[in-house]
Amino acid sequence: MSDCDKGPRDEEALRPTPKYRCKVPAPAEDLKYYVQGLFHPVYIGEVYKEGRYRIEQKLAFSSTCTIWGARDLHTNKFVALKVLATNKSQDSKELRILQRLRDSNLDHPGRRHVLRFFDHFFHDGVNGRHLFLVTEALGETICEWSYASDYSPAEGNTCRPLLKELLLAVDFLHKCHVVHGDLNNQNIMFPISRFDSFDEPVIGKVTRDDGAPVEKGIPEYLVGKAHTNTDLNNPREEDECGFDMKIIDFSSSFFDDEYPTSIIVTRCLTPPEMIFQKPLTKAIDIWQVACITFWAVASPSDLFDYWGDSRELIPQIYKIIGESSANWLLVSLMEGVQDKIWATSPGPIGIEKSKGLNLERLIQEIVYYPDETRDNAWKQTEANLKRMKDRVHKELERKTKEELESKTQKELESKTQKELESKTQEELQRKTQEELERKMEEELERKKEAECIRKMEEKLDREKKEASLYIPLREIPEVEKYVKDFGRFLRRMLVVDPEQRPTAEELLTDDFVGEVYDSFPYSESSSNRE
């Protein structure tokens, strides 16, 4: 599941501005968002809400907000401040949902797996009036954890506890009559035990090409996203049965009596009902739980995805789920055509464009399974090893040292010749120096990529040697059982008709996740099952 900007952008507010430059050796938001009606410039050391919250770190950003680590000077606790763009700060549904979840008196084990909301306030800044949401500060996202492990799939003893906690969180939301709507890999996070888990702030000065002072409303510097160091291999002592994951970001959420037909959602999480613009319900979260579970096990592969038209998902869904989805998809497609819900006709989205394997075959190719009789308890399938090797060779073919140096030299010579014809010698020297700096940056990036590829090859060689000692996974009875159980559980969630999709509470009683915990401690119908 790739990182994806969420939320509509106010393109009209992105007025033309003088060209600015800012080099930050860490991810940071685009300067184009610092205009009237959008982002508020925030600086390290600033204090907000009458001297209570002091900014100490940059935690995250998106196209609708920046998120900062701050010290609550009243309690000395480290918290997160989400600073919404001006156009997202008025009549915020996200605020109302966070208040609903915070004020709920429901005694539910899923509450601990939902972001804690503490406070909110408004601040009048140079670019408008902004809503600040104060929540607990967290560490890595599940996406960052996957990246740190070279996108290695989650092992079975990791996947199932995470799935259990995710279902508990979703069940809590639904019992509070809240639908999350976008359970992507950036919206599932893990806690930090102390502020020292973050690196020091990384800052880059903002300058103008013409050397003039920075305009009002543009920050003097940008702060890069902080790097965290969360060790998921060692769960906290008080949470020995899991990882204490948290669901965050309620910007796409809605109350369950609203029934919207469209929300901002990560592409690969789009449920069938959203393709056909049907009313959205709690069932959307169940479909997304299935998709994120597959992603965690098959990382970095998604179960479904599209680039332009969401109707591209129709043959993918049919191919992976099978005949059980055919009738609902066909009826919904015919109704959509009859009701003219699409302004254009779709491109060629035949079955041949969909994935070539059904659900069970896909799982067989990517699943990990423990074998306690061997030194290495978790093994990759041969398909995983082949895919990794293919990625390595594609990178080597796409970017080689000779190609990069040749391209850079030709561009430099061409631009130098043009500059000699139209620019002064002083201007030429400045441009040439910029080109040389760019070349050095590209060369450094190339070296980093080459080192990454080298490590991938070394890892591949090690795993191939280890795999050669193992019998094929298909010959291990426990693996066949795991594949069968995992596939059955995913199929329970991957039901195209949202009215037939099971609830989170029903899924929590399934043996696949039930084996992780002795019992499900909260259920409105537990007495009936007894």
Mean pLDDT for the stretch of residues 282-310? 88
Confidence at residue 466, expressed as pLDDT on a 0 to 100 scale: 58
pLDDT surpassing 70 at residue 480: yes
Secondary structure of residue 510 in the 3-state scheme: coil
Confidence at residue 344, expressed as pLDDT on a 0 to 100 scale: 76
Q: What are the tens digits of pLDDT across the range 303-342?
A: 998 888 899 999 999 999 999 999 999 999 999 999 888 8
Distance between CA 320 and CA 314 in Å, rounded?
A: 10
Distance between CA 180 and CA 177 in Å, rounded?
A: 10
Are residues 94 and 150 in contact, defined by beta-carbon separation less than 8 angstroms? no
Are residues 143 and 300 in contact, defined by beta-carbon separation less than 8 angstroms? no
pLDDT surpassing 60 at residue 220: yes
Are residues 290 and 494 in contact, defined by beta-carbon separation less than 8 angstroms? yes
Mean pLDDT for the stretch of residues 152-173? 83
Residues 6+ apart with CB under 8 A from 495: 324, 501, 502
Confidence at residue 46, expressed as pLDDT on a 0 to 100 scale: 98
Residues 6+ apart with CB under 8 A from 485: 511, 512
Share of the chain above pLDDT 90, in %: 46
Closest CA to 70 of 87, 88, 51: 51
Q: Taking the alpha carbons of 500, 503, 509, 514 in that order, is the dihedral positive or negative? A: positive
pLDDT surpassing 70 at residue 352: no
Confidence at residue 35, expressed as pLDDT on a 0 to 100 scale: 94
Confidence at residue 356, expressed as pLDDT on a 0 to 100 scale: 54
Confidence of residue 200 (pLDDT cuts 50, 70, 90): confident
Mean pLDDT for the stretch of residues 204-209? 92
Confidence at residue 307, expressed as pLDDT on a 0 to 100 scale: 82
pLDDT surpassing 50 at residue 420: yes
Confidence at residue 306, expressed as pLDDT on a 0 to 100 scale: 85
Confidence of residue 530 (pLDDT cuts 50, 70, 90): very low
How many H helices and E strands in the chain?
Answer: 15, 14
pLDDT surpassing 70 at residue 245: yes
Burial of 511 (0-12, 13-18, 19+ CB in 10 A): exposed
- Lowest-confidence segment of 43-57, 421-435, 503-517 by average pLDDT: 421-435
Q: What is the DSSP letter of 517?
A: S
Confidence at residue 482, expressed as pLDDT on a 0 to 100 scale: 77
Q: How many CB atoms lie within 10 A of CB 98?
A: 24
Secondary structure of residue 108 in the 3-state scheme: coil
- Lowest-confidence segment of 85-99, 147-161, 478-492 by average pLDDT: 147-161
Q: How many CB atoms lie within 10 A of CB 288?
A: 25
Confidence at residue 267, expressed as pLDDT on a 0 to 100 scale: 92
Which element (helix H / strand E) includes 219?
A: none
Q: What are the tens digits of pLDDT across the range 39-81?
A: 999 999 999 999 999 999 999 999 999 999 999 999 999 999 9
The conformational region for residue 470 under phi > 0 = left, psi -120 to 50 = alpha, else beta, is: beta
Mean pLDDT for the stretch of residues 204-213? 90
Confidence at residue 401, expressed as pLDDT on a 0 to 100 scale: 54
Residues counted in the chain: 530
Confidence at residue 404, expressed as pLDDT on a 0 to 100 scale: 61
Single-letter code of the amino acid located at 393: H
Are residues 503 and 282 in contact, defined by beta-carbon separation less than 8 angstroms? yes
Between 465 and 117, where is the model more confident? 117
- Lowest-confidence segment of 68-77, 426-435, 461-470 by average pLDDT: 461-470
Confidence at residue 145, expressed as pLDDT on a 0 to 100 scale: 78
Confidence at residue 522, expressed as pLDDT on a 0 to 100 scale: 40
Q: What is the residue-averaged pLDDT of the chain?
A: 79
| Spatial strand order in the sheet of 203-208 | 20-22, 203-208, 221-223
pTM of the model: 0.75
Confidence at residue 199, expressed as pLDDT on a 0 to 100 scale: 78
Distance between CA 84 and CA 473 in Å, rounded?
A: 49
Distance between CA 317 and CA 307 in Å, rounded?
A: 15
Between 361 and 504, where is the model more confident? 504
Highest mean pLDDT among 26-30, 193-197, 219-223: 219-223
- Lowest-confidence segment of 145-149, 170-174, 218-222, 489-493 by average pLDDT: 145-149
Distance between CA 58 and CA 27 in Å, rounded?
A: 10
Between 222 and 412, where is the model more confident? 222
Distance between CA 252 and CA 264 in Å, rounded?
A: 6
Distance between CA 321 and CA 354 in Å, rounded?
A: 12
Q: How many CB atoms lie within 10 A of CB 139?
A: 21
Confidence of residue 156 (pLDDT cuts 50, 70, 90): low
Distance between CA 375 and CA 377 in Å, rounded?
A: 6
Share of the chain above pLDDT 70, in %: 67
